[in-house]
Structure 1
């Protein structure tokens, strides 16, 4: 590679870097603006011009959210429903993926095709059916009513199936020869070989459940049973909307998810890559 070619490559790399940084700033600015606005008095928030930093820094809106709302209860509801959804989704998807991958039973292939076809059905189209079923079962305004309709996650089943398909058959044959049951084969061989996948899928499922809004919004009408994503919409005042209070509540709602992403970034990226590969 001669000097001119090297210079062209360096110039192209610099241009790509500048463009990437620009895109990152554009993406991050709304987050920065929301956090900064939550630290401003309300009269500064509604000013007709832009201020990139608070003139009078205040934490009163966070104090209001923590002391004058039911945000503690909303946190408990979100944690309970997100953890419950994650555990049940992973367990059921694990069993389903193993059965489709390793067992031979009538209807196995049509069942797998049905799971693949479910990607073509948007979750929003099932909302009415879910609401009617949950209402008929008397589970509105309950944790179970929030959790059950969120257990439909075909991508997790397919990811598990693909990874179980990649496990060498020799391991299963050796375990069967030692009189191991199907549960023994699954828990002693297949799961230990796929702990990384399970961890990644668990984290992403938890984040997805925590961020869910539409179904919890429809399934819950009592303020004390709301998840935090729905509850923060109730942070209003008798005299109108206080934007800084709502932004402070939104920051508090998003903090656990942001922290989880920062702590488990590699696992989250792995799960997103797996899911994108399946959907592609």
Structure 2
């Protein structure tokens, strides 16, 4: 009798959990649809003729499918040059940030030098200063050093990446000290120790940070927008703002440019989704 009562209670609990799970799933699907609708709308609008875009009413599917907007953006703007600038800037930023953060994280984690604690405190305290608060200073320095409309001018402020340094330090702290002691006995210098022992143990972390840094550099808009005034120097995120100037109010072409801008990042995320999620979890873990 007691076993029957316990089984009945377990069955009720399982049914209650199933109902809660069903409700959560439905709410999640609704939220996902709400989030995805603007993306869907942008893609659908970009393949409509311009006269259908400005028609009153809500058309969820184009009556006429056309790639005219994409053709206009590709052949009548400098989007190819903007893509090249974005790829170059994002790759250079990623390489420098990863190498610099790894070296800094290794030094703070494994080396004893004067000012080590002060440097670590400055890195932690940098989270208290939003990057937007430094925009004016960055612009004044870039103008004085004649870096406006140059890759260097776009890249340099993006190299401030305390989070990457903190993540590297956290993982280097977890490397067994026996590896370092054995390397010291073999007269291995610090650079070889970093690049041949410590980094190979953390390739997953490095890959995740590189991907998330690349995506961040590609999507960066505010500083590249201020640091470039010539179309030839613009990244694709900034360059698409010129589509409006070139064509007037042409919603299909503007959205086509926006889709082309976000496409590489979407592909990177789809291909390296697990690594991107890992980087986000690492960042959240350090902040926590």
TM-score of the two chains, using structure 2 as the length reference:
0.95
Matching residue within 190, 193, 217 for 1:182: 190
Q: Could you say which residue in structure 2 is the equivalent of 1:77?
A: 85
Q: Give CA-to-partner distance per residue, 1:102-153, whole Å, 9 cap, x none.
A: 0001110111011000001000011111111111111111111111111000
Q: Give CA-to-partner distance per residue, 1:18-45, whole Å, 9 cap, x none.
A: 1111111111111001100111111222
Aligned-partner Cα distance in 2 for 1:225–1:239: 20
Q: Could you say which residue in structure 2 is the equivalent of 1:247?
A: 255
Report how far residue 47 of structure 1 moved. Answer: 2.3
Question: 1:18–1:36: structure 2 CA closer, same or farther, 3 Å change rule?
Answer: same
TM-score of the two chains, using structure 1 as the length reference:
0.98
Consecutive unaligned residues in structure 2, runs of 5 or more:
1-8
- Count of matched residue pairs: 280
Aligned-partner Cα distance in 2 for 1:260–1:225: 24
Report how far residue 94 of structure 1 moved. Answer: 0.8
Aligned-partner Cα distance in 1 for 2:20–2:185: 59
Map 1:139-154; keep pairs closer than 5 Å: 139-154=147-162
User: Which structure's CA Rg is the greater one?
Assistant: 2
Question: 1:166–1:41: structure 2 CA closer, same or farther, 3 Å change rule?
Answer: same
Report how far residue 46 of structure 1 moved. Answer: 1.8
Aligned-partner Cα distance in 2 for 1:96–1:20: 41
**RMSD between aligned residues:** 1.1
Aligned-partner Cα distance in 2 for 1:145–1:188: 33
In structure 1, the residue corresponding to 2:256 is in which secondary structure?
Answer: helix
Question: 1:71–1:193: structure 2 CA closer, same or farther, 3 Å change rule?
Answer: same
Q: Which moved more, 1:35-44 or 1:191-200?
A: 35-44
Runs of 4+ residues over 6 Å off in structure 1 = none
Question: 1:130–1:239: structure 2 CA closer, same or farther, 3 Å change rule?
Answer: closer
Q: Could you say which residue in structure 1 is the equivalent of 2:13?
A: 5
1:269 aligns with 2:269: no
Question: 1:121–1:221: structure 2 CA closer, same or farther, 3 Å change rule?
Answer: same
1:231 aligns with 2:239: yes
Q: Give CA-to-partner distance per residue, 1:32-84, whole Å, 9 cap, x none.
A: 01100111111222222111100111110000010000000000000000001
Report how far residue 228 of structure 1 moved. Answer: 0.2
Aligned-partner Cα distance in 2 for 1:239–1:112: 50
Q: Could you say which residue in structure 1 is the equivalent of 2:31?
A: 23
Consecutive unaligned residues in structure 1, runs of 5 or more:
none
Aligned-partner Cα distance in 2 for 1:225–1:188: 38
Report how far residue 238 of structure 1 moved. Answer: 6.2
Q: Give CA-to-partner distance per residue, 1:231-273, whole Å, 9 cap, x none.
A: 0000025673111100000000000000000000000000011
